[in-house]
Amino acid sequence: MGWSIRAPFAGFSTALAEIPDEVFARAMLGDGAAIDPTEGELRAPCDGEVISVAAARHAVALRAPCGAEILVHVGIDTVALGGEGFTLLVRKGDRVHAGDLLLNFDLDLVARKARSLITPVIVTNAERFRVTRAHLDRRVASGDVLFELEECGAAAPAGAAALRAPVVSEALVVAHAHGIHARPAGLIARVAKSLPYDLEVRARGRSANAKSAVALMALGVRGGDELVIVGFDAQAATGIAEIARVVRGLDGAPAPHPAKPPPAPVVASAAVPAGSLRGVIASRGFAVGAALEFDNEDLVVSESGAGAASENAALDRALDAVRKRLAERASAASGAMRGILEAHQELIEDPELLAAARSSIGAGKSAGFAWRQGISASVAGLNATGDARLMERAADFADLERQVLRQLAGAGEQRREIPAGSILVAQDLTPSQLIDIDTSRLAGITLAGGGPTSHVAILAATLGIPMLVSLGAGLRETKSGAALVLDADAGVLNARPTDSELNAARTRLEQGRVRQARELDEAGTDCRLASGERIEVFANLAGSAADTRHAVTQGAEGCGLLRTEFLFLDRATAPDEAEQLRSYQQVADLLGRRPLVIRTLDVGGDKPIAYLPLPPEENPALGLRGIRTSLWRPELLDVQLRALLAVKPAVRILLPMITDVAEFRLVSERLNDLCRELGVARPQLGAMIETPAAAMLADQIAAVADFLSIGTNDLAQYGLAMDRGHAELAARIDGVHPAVLRLIEVTARGAAAHRRPLAVCGGLASDPGAVPLLLGLGVDELSVVPGSIPRLKALIRKLELDACRKLAAHALGLTTAAEVRAAVQAALPAG
């Protein structure tokens, strides 16, 4: 039996091989035909259900009644238009009939801006259906038969959703705003690989092997999508429940970020000098230097292999070499760099990617050609989702492709000599390429392509290298040796500075260096306002020795927030008392006599840990979090409190996510019991103010707590009712919003009523534009990112308390965060 797939619009039909894109031309996504359209109305090629709509509105997928999945992808590289020129008329889940209008598009606009208008119409589940009797090389009208399908005689491979009946399953909605991107996919795959049976994840009308991070990412699951985890025997229920917990906890497990996350995409809007290019800020900073072109070498591979045994062996050797290098680098790295390297380790072990390469080798292809083909198919799957974040992960696959192909060619690592003060100029850059560079000699990075949340952007931000991306084709005109002025604070690259502009930039750079050196030199002394009041400036720490030493060199007067989650995450069992004590004591020893504030475990539905299975929560941000989790599992809290009581000198203990006096008293009473049992003095016990409830009850909490510390990140999130992980809302969350400032003000009044110290340890404390407001509202301690300490101390020394109070009072009466920031900018002292 056959089924007809019809032309979605009028045009000229042709074979897929004519498409100017290797992925479609080689039928990596599936077989079918292509049409060069002559009209801008796309209609359904068959009856069916809409199973996927690209975020950029350029592609729609249907599932026909026979089970065939048909993708219509308007034009080539049209995803880059971001939806411009496209009007979508259907949604996922809609049922349509052949000929129904699915979307309109501006034919002229898309023709001007896209690489090509030629549109592939393909069947993506080729394991079940083959294309027959394609009507090619002719004019077709909308609704004419384009090709026919018939069901394959062979059974679908294991894992094909349509032919495998699940025995157990669980459905859930993905709450994480960014859906199943690289890091979540890796977490799911890691769990699935540890299980002795197969699981599938089904979403958006497709299915994926749960052990394959690549296949999971290619599903294109976004926040709000429903997915179903299925197993094929009864014992799979346990594994399904574990993966469901991972998915529910994704809001607390984003892709690795540096301590100071890369800023949201910012495109400069102000006028820029002639010869300048506007870009997107990936890592802030300012640099002057000589351009250094960094072109990716063209690695040529032969298509034909020397036999499956020989090519498989060659691929195995190359993969082993890359795995070893990734493991060595990951073991020596920390923070964002380690997370990225671990993500690459996960991808290179991906079963779908490896299976695709082995299959090509079995068909007579060389190892290099097979690896490149497998990578291309994976990238095509990500690009077809239309999800910008997933598409940025394509750079990670390009990185692995390059590393393995170099090994196959016997070239090993690629080392580049970097003249000191260079500004790198490239179309794109991969994480391993940046890691291979002596970044101490690099002044900045400029990319024609790339994205602000790519892994290489995260690395640049971690390393403190100014970086602009998406500068466009104009960057290609920049040649090595040309003088550049990179302003990654304004989002502008001056590619042809005049002598006067160059001199002004160098003066600005030198003044900045002198100022930073002066600020660092003065950072070791106590900090006081110009009016004489003492303000303590502490550091937020994550627990490592390097982090602590850095904070001390930057002038930290103590630690106002030591996060303890790092000890509890990414392990099979909780750390015991001895391990915790060793970790906390190391930080205390490095700080010397400086105060140390340690926050108890802050995990829950938003930060899941494998050995702490939490009940299902529809909204983890409002569920078992912070102290609620500790009270739910008091045995974990007891072990931690015992370890904290053993640290010398005594530390201050801080409780996260307190909402009322009752919660605080429960822990306070338990602490008293332990102190009596151990025969030690009771340490200071403080409460974090992170919710509007805690702020409004601050006077009551201050009556029983020894100190208060405001966590402005969560206070702003809850106060403004905006999820700080939400792609559309995160950029609108600003802690200087008058509503948040009023919550801080009422907290300060509550602390003052009982003469309790008040600190701010959230992101707002590190913001120079917020510090005058915080001091004016009554905050007397700031705990900040270590690298911000010299600059903030220098600022504080210029401020008068009365002026800060007047500024804060004025800000409380404003209506928007933008108005508040403008008022602060006008009031800040020059320099």
Q: Report the catalytic residues.
A: 455, 761
Which residue in 776, 800, 805 sits closest to 530, CA to CA? 800
Amino acid at 562: L
* Main-chain dihedrals φ then ψ at residue 233, nearest 5 degrees: -150, 165
Distant-in-sequence contacts of 335-338, Cβ < 8 A, 24+ apart: 335/256, 335/258, 335/259, 335/462, 336/256, 336/257, 336/258, 336/458, 336/459, 336/461, 336/462, 337/435, 337/459, 337/462, 338/256
- Classify 10 as helix, strand or coil: coil
Structure tokens that stand for 152 in this block: 């394959």
Amino acid at 538: F
CA–CA separation, 191 vs 608, rounded Å? Answer: 13
Let me know the angle formed at the C-alpha of 219 by 168 and 405, rounded to the nearest 5 degrees: 120
Respond yes or no on whether the N-terminal peptide bond of residue 649 is cis (omega within 30° of 0): yes
Which residue in 2, 3, 8 sits closest to 99, CA to CA? 8
How many C-beta atoms lie closer than 10 Å to residue 679's C-beta? 6
CA–CA separation, 36 vs 34, rounded Å? Answer: 7
Structure tokens that stand for 736 in this block: 């200087």
CA–CA separation, 147 vs 778, rounded Å? Answer: 73
- Classify 578 as helix, strand or coil: helix
Listing from the earlier edge strand, what are the strands of the sheet with 226-231? 168-173, 226-231, 199-203, 206-209
* H or E element that contains 259: none
Which residue in 143, 168, 645, 543 sits closest to 335, CA to CA? 543
CA–CA separation, 419 vs 480, rounded Å? Answer: 11
Q: Could you tell me which residues are beta bridge partners of residue 150?
A: 2, 130
- Classify 67 as helix, strand or coil: coil
* H or E element that contains 52: strand 48-53
CA–CA separation, 335 vs 458, rounded Å? Answer: 11
CA–CA separation, 248 vs 617, rounded Å? Answer: 7
Tell how strand 422-426 and strand 276-278 pair up.
unpaired
Amino acid at 751: A
Which residue in 216, 220, 224, 223 sits closest to 385, CA to CA? 220
- Classify 58 as helix, strand or coil: coil
